[in-house]
Every structure is written in structure tokens, then in C-alpha cells.
């Protein structure tokens, strides 16, 4: 039920909620019937991967929910309203919520200037998470041309937006209990479990040579340094344009 509802609500959000530059009031977004948080919390409680929920600040969560224009009946709305963000595998994956001192980027703040410029605009994609090696997860709202509602991954080893063929709900389930080790096979190094928590959630590792230049090279043979996540995102976007991938 929630998998279908997640896709339907996001499609409604993308196509209708702000298509005419109208913003639904906050009280229409915070629902009392069939809220998604108890379901999401259940997934977290039974997770097989390491999951850390950052607590939400009420004022920040209300503002983030309003800016994003999704309801708490959807898993995305539940994550935004009830968490400051969610860290998976020692912070290897950062799922964006309403912001927290340990993950200061809220979902709407991170998207503003990237997927949209001003509140009320219709975004063609929505950045929802990123990882420690500079990969970015986004929900497709039409930018990628097909499979709207699916989560796409901007892979740092080829600079392509790859369709993961799952929606936001399935993405959460993957993060909580999926094969993360298999997904990142060959991209983790010995000792990453100790390195990543020290990195912080607003930085990612930049590698030399870049992953997209030498994807076959072993991680242990690369130099790496921490850079701001916004810097890495810009570098990847600029490189995509240079390579005419946009």
C-alpha cells in the first residue's frame, strides 16, 4: 500500500501541488488518518543495516514539510516531519529530512538552487539522499525522461543518472535492510567504517584520479580528501555538461 501511495503522492506533488505556483497550507499536509511514520518507524526498528535517526526540531520540520509540499501520509513526508535526517551504515548514506546539527542540510534547502530556484516552482527531480563517495540519489519528476517517481542514482564512477527501478519507499527499505555492501562493491576501502563517521555529513570524499576517469582502479590505490558536498555536486554537474551528458 505504502509503496503505491508513495509514488502516487509524489506524482501528485510534482504534477499538481505546485504546478500552478500554489502552496498548500501546512495543516493540510500534516494528516491524522493513516500517517506513514509508524510504518517507517517499524522498518527502522527491524532494519538489518545500521540506521541512526536524527531527531527533528518541530519548527524546522514544519517549515521543511511546507516547502516540500508532501503530506505525512507519504513516507517522504514522514521522514521530513519526524526526522532531522537518517544516517545509514555509519553515515555512508545520508537520507535528507528537516535538518539537524549532525546533518544541517534539509531536503528543501538542499534542492533549492539545484532542482528548483524558488518555492512554488515545479521541480523536475528531487535530491533525497547522497553518500560518502559523492553519489546522489534523486526522485525523477520528468528530468530523466521516463519512469517518473523512480529513484535515480548519479554514479560517481560514470557520471550517469542510473535508474534504480525503485520508488522512494523501496529506496528506504533498501537503505534499512538491503544489500548496501553489494551495491557499493569495489568502492569501499579497508577502514571505511572508521573514516566515514569522521568525514561528517556535509562532506564527501573526492578521489584522485576521479572515479569517472579511472573507475577500474582499486580504491586503495587512490588518494582521497574530504570536500564540501556542494562542491562535489557542482564539479559533477559541470563535468556532465562538458561531456554533453546533460
pLDDT score, position 3: 55
Question: How far is residue 26's CA from residue 28's CA, in Å, rounded to a whole number?
Answer: 5
- So what's the pLDDT on residue 216? 60
Predicted pLDDT at 16: 44
pLDDT tens, position by position, 71-110: 999 999 999 999 999 999 999 999 999 999 999 999 999 9
Residue 8 pLDDT exceeds 70: no
Strand partners for 129 = 95, 137
pLDDT interval class at 217 (50, 70, 90): low
* Residue 174 contacts residue 86 (beta carbons within 8 Å): no
* Model pLDDT for residues 151-189, shown as the tens digit of each residue: 999 999 999 999 999 999 999 999 999 999 999 998 999
How far is 196 from 158, CA to CA, in rounded Å?
22
Q: At what angle do helices 168-177 and 37-45 cross, to 10 degrees?
A: 20
Closest listed residue to residue 55, CA positions, set 73, 29, 35, 82: 82
Give the pLDDT band (50/70/90) at residue 10: low
pLDDT band at 15 (very low <50, low <70, confident <90, very high): very low
Question: In the predicted model, is pLDDT for residue 51 greater than 60?
Answer: yes
Find how far residue 137's CA is from the centre of its chain.
Answer: 5
pLDDT over threshold 70, residue 143: yes
Using one digit for the tens of pLDDT, what is the confidence trace for 57-75? 999 999 999 999 999 999 9
Model pLDDT, residue 236: 97
Q: Is the pLDDT of residue 149 over 50?
A: yes
Q: Is the pLDDT of residue 219 over 80?
A: no
Cα–Cα dist 133/229, whole Å: 10
CA distance 53 to 51: 7
Res 36: pLDDT: 97
Res. 119: pLDDT tops 50: yes
Task: Say if residue 218's pLDDT is above 80.
Answer: no
Amino acid at each position: 500500500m505504502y509503496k503505491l501511495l508513495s509514488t502516487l503522492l509524489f506524482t501528485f506533488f510534482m504534477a499538481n501541488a505546485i504546478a500552478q505556483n500554489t502552496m498548500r497550507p501546512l495543516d493540510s499536509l500534516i494528516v491524522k488518518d493513516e500517517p506513514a511514520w509508524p510504518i517507517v518507524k517499524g522498518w527502522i526498528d527491524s532494519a538489518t543495516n545500521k540506521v541512526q535517526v536524527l531527531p527533528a526540531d518541530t519548527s524546522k520540520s514544519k517549515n521543511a514539510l511546507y516547502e516540500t509540499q508532501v503530506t505525512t501520509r507519504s513516507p517522504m513526508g514522514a521522514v521530513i516531519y519526524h526526522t532531522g535526517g537518517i544516517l545509514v551504515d555509519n553515515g555512508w548514506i545520508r537520507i535528507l529530512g528537516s535538518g539537524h546539527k549532525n546533518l544541517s542540510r534539509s531536503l528543501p534547502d538542499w534542492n533549492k538552487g539545484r532542482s528548483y530556484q524558488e518555492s512554488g516552482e515545479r521541480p523536475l527531480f528531487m535530491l533525497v539522499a547522497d553518500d560518502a563517495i559523492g553519489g546522489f540519489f534523486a526522485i525523477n519528476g520528468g528530468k530523466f525522461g521516463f519512469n517518473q517517481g523512480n529513484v535515480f542514482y548519479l554514479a560517481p564512477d560514470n557520471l550517469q543518472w542510473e535508474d534504480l527501478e525503485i520508488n522512494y519507499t523501496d529506496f528506504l527499505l533498501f537503505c534499512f535492510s538491503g544489500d548496501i555492501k553489494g551495491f557499493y562493491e569495489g568502492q569501499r576501502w579497508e577502514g571505511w567504517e572508521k573514516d566515514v563517521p569522521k568525514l561528517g555529513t556535509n562532506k564527501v570524499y573526492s578521489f584522485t584520479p576521479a572515479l569517472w576517469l579511472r573507475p577500474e582502479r582499486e580504491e586503495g590505490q587512490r588518494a582521497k580528501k574530504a570536500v564540501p558536498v556542494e562542491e562535489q555536486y557542482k564539479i559533477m554537474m559541470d563535468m556532465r555538461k562538458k561531456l554533453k551528458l546533460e
